[in-house]
Structure 1
């Protein structure tokens, strides 16, 4: 049994019968709650967690943006965090591969009704049907809490500007 435990990684361990046994015995729902030695974390993840705690001790949903800006442009996910004012914002997210694929799109759909974030934040997605893969391809996500014409105008201008800048071709 011990060898089987040593070959598991933490995600797989949560699904293993051994975890169920520990859960029933200790009532813990995470490995860390069973014992500190089960807090499996690699060195890189530990350094990232440490930096996030030092830079954002109270936590921040935008902490990832600060880290993302130091990556090369083809490795970034969060492209811009734009503040209209103190209460309204716009967050543009897409990968380099998504921007590259968007260059070949003949038509697309912008879904403005999807709600996956708690609160007043709306999620907009730009997607289209990909005939070669027979599935819907998503090219960008935009998160915002402003629902005005001016807000939508800025959203579209900034989104298409960033999609073009990522692949160094105008959209």
Structure 2
């Protein structure tokens, strides 16, 4: 909560409406001083979060709030790392029964500049919804950071449910696939964890047997590159065709075609705008 978010909040609007006013100053003249409002908000922060709002704040909440303690399954902190694993027992019991799940990085919900939220989700066909089963708050976004994340989450699942986490290509039961973004750090961390479970296979073999890349981000990048104009429909389809190539040879042929088409397109634009085609980089 900040002074700005408070002044824009629906709760404040409702309070003003109940007092036949449009702003705090209309309710009472003394409330026209925003410094006073800021001081009140700061006082409430200190009362509600005496240990701050990072690791120490979480540890304090776990001491006084049984529901928070039930939800936070593990926390880690040292000089460089912060990690918090959150899930209810029922969520983990559902996760261990699945054949696959998706791992995604969220950047939107947190104010802290160096803190990210990694979520384990699944789609429920009967409900038509995607639900989150695990949330991990971490300041690490490196291959070793993801390795620790996967290892710790799977250990938490085993500890809470009493069932070891298995992978189909290793144990002939368990998870058959994990849907990930096309993020090399994420896949490298998972590959390191799987290789630790079974060194008889290479990291690449483990990933080929487990990883399913999410195509949503790929298609978003296509739209970002060429736009949504109807005239670009053909090139969008050809770019999306990279996902379904049957061989490396077909893949590189399509890349060459797309590259040639791009340069022709740029030369045409430059000719219409009066620029010299030699200016194309």
TM surpasses 0.5? yes
Whether the 8 Å contact between 2:103 and 2:118 is mirrored in structure 1 is: yes
Judging changes above 3 Å, is the alpha-carbon distance between structure 1 residues 68 and 74 closer, same or farther for their aligned structure 2 residues?
A: closer
Which of the numbers 88, 92, 100 marks the counterpart of 1:95? Answer: 88
Q: Distance in 2 between matches of 1:92 and 1:79?
A: 6
- Structure 1-normalised TM-score? 0.65
Gap regions ≥5 residues in structure 2: 1-9, 41-45, 166-281
* Greater Rg over alpha carbons, structure: 2
What residue number does 1:18 align with? 18
Mean CA deviation greater in 88-97 or 109-118: 109-118
- Asked if 1:86 is matched to 2:79, the reply is yes
How far apart are 1:111 and its partner, in Å? 0.3
How far apart are 1:73 and its partner, in Å? 9.3
Paired residues for 1:2-41 under 5 Å:
15-16=14-15, 17-19=17-19, 21=21, 23=24, 24-26=26-28, 28=31
How far apart are 1:86 and its partner, in Å? 0.9
- Equivalent residues, number: 142
Q: Distance in 1 between matches of 2:103 and 2:13?
A: 38
Q: Distance in 2 between matches of 1:138 and 1:106?
A: 15
- Structure 2-normalised TM-score? 0.42
Q: Distance in 1 between matches of 2:90 and 2:64?
A: 18
Paired residues for 1:1-171 under 5 Å:
15-16=14-15, 17-19=17-19, 21=21, 23=24, 24-26=26-28, 28=31, 53=50, 56=51, 59-62=52-55, 63-68=57-62, 76-83=70-77, 85-118=78-111, 119-171=113-165
Whether the 8 Å contact between 1:69 and 1:76 is mirrored in structure 2 is: no
Whether the 8 Å contact between 1:68 and 1:77 is mirrored in structure 2 is: no
Whether the 8 Å contact between 2:61 and 2:68 is mirrored in structure 1 is: no
**Residue-by-residue CA offset, 1:27-70 (whole Å, 9 max, x unaligned):** 649xxx6xx9xxxxxxxxxxxx86853xx2xx233323344368
Of the two structures, which has the highest relative contact order with CA contacts closer than 8 Å and spacing of 6 or more? Answer: 1
Whether the 8 Å contact between 1:65 and 1:78 is mirrored in structure 2 is: no
Gap regions ≥5 residues in structure 1: 1-10, 37-48
How far apart are 1:160 and its partner, in Å? 1.2
**Residue-by-residue CA offset, 1:51-104 (whole Å, 9 max, x unaligned):** 853xx2xx2333233443687799611222212x41321111111221122122
